[in-house]
Structure 1
């Protein structure tokens, strides 16, 4: 609050200002402003405490840490819904619907990832790997989605994310994730040679690496697998692109990531 400058006139002949009602009302107004300011400051401090926005973060659940605990605290149907709708997720903006056909037991990384990909992800550590396989409405495509929960903190995940971006590691064929070929399903023949398209994201707001890899349900070998980003480009003519397998991988990965974030959000909310 800005107050008027004091009267510094030195002229002894100047008439003193009367201490009448105007002066008293001015003092009262100033006092009211000070009280109002203190009230606003107190209110802001109270609001910060209630919403967990204090600078020290005391008592505020850490969203990053909360997301890392989801692998053992949330039912599988929330991480991998039985049915996933992909409005506009197909080629040309066509709608997609994917149905879950198998869920792998939660495990370490072990044989679930190629050795070279394990090596690249090693700095983040492997706490748990969750996987599920889906098929499209025609049951001609199969897609495995994975959520690798790491042991890394936010700084380490940020460094790994930058490395993937700067070196283009997410588009290297020798770093493709493996599929989960569930016996007794249309994905039973979904092996390494059947992988057609994939996407992989190192998240920075959660200690998670999310990926998806797609292929044909008939078990055919794919000689030219493509990153989902390339397979989705207009004018792409490979069998992978023409079949929309890039859209399957990217569409499912995006929606499973959104589901993960949506599930993590309530864990960081304060009770009212």
Structure 2
């Protein structure tokens, strides 16, 4: 009798864990620390460091149990850029009742590489954009365990954002934009926003009701999504969301970066020690909660005007 009771209790705990997935700081710290480590050598395109980063993301997707994208035989979407091989990393959670409707979560895993001299020569890119990649890996695990996505979720880590966005360009050219319901691009969420903790902004907030939907889903929490406070920076057009946005997809970037005063932006000092990992954890939780009505098929953001 005791044996069966233990089995029943173990099954009950497992079921509860599956129904209540956790987004934990410890896992976020582990992923972020690895992606921004010195051994990645700044994750510059076409480098050994970015190859290490790609392999790490692929392993995380495999552990999570994501499917391959389209006709790919692995998690790499490979292509040639400037005569050299490059790749995005893509994993998929197939939708239950609306598999032909896609919700994309994205971030870029490339950064600036290394400089030739100095006491510190590595552009670790902890905030830019290891923080975003950490978010999509964490969200993939969350939604896999939650197991309630009616729409298909595509998790993609782009290469080449820092040198022209060719990873997101290739992805956008090889997907039917009419099937993409929304894109959550996540860029630099490791520091506190201008409104301090429990807040972030959405680029192009006024262009669709994407942000309004997210904020509605956060009712009763202490988290707030704001409109982009740096319109003079034209951030909506400067990140990996821009390619699908130009095709009419409600594709927006979520960020906390203080573009008028971010001390470590594109500097070798952009290291894990400068990040607020507690706040970053709360931001990822907020994205998970706020996106669920879109993932479930309850809400569909308005399309953008094509550019």
State the TM-score, normalizing by the size of structure 1.
Answer: 0.28
Q: Which has the larger radius of gyration?
A: 1
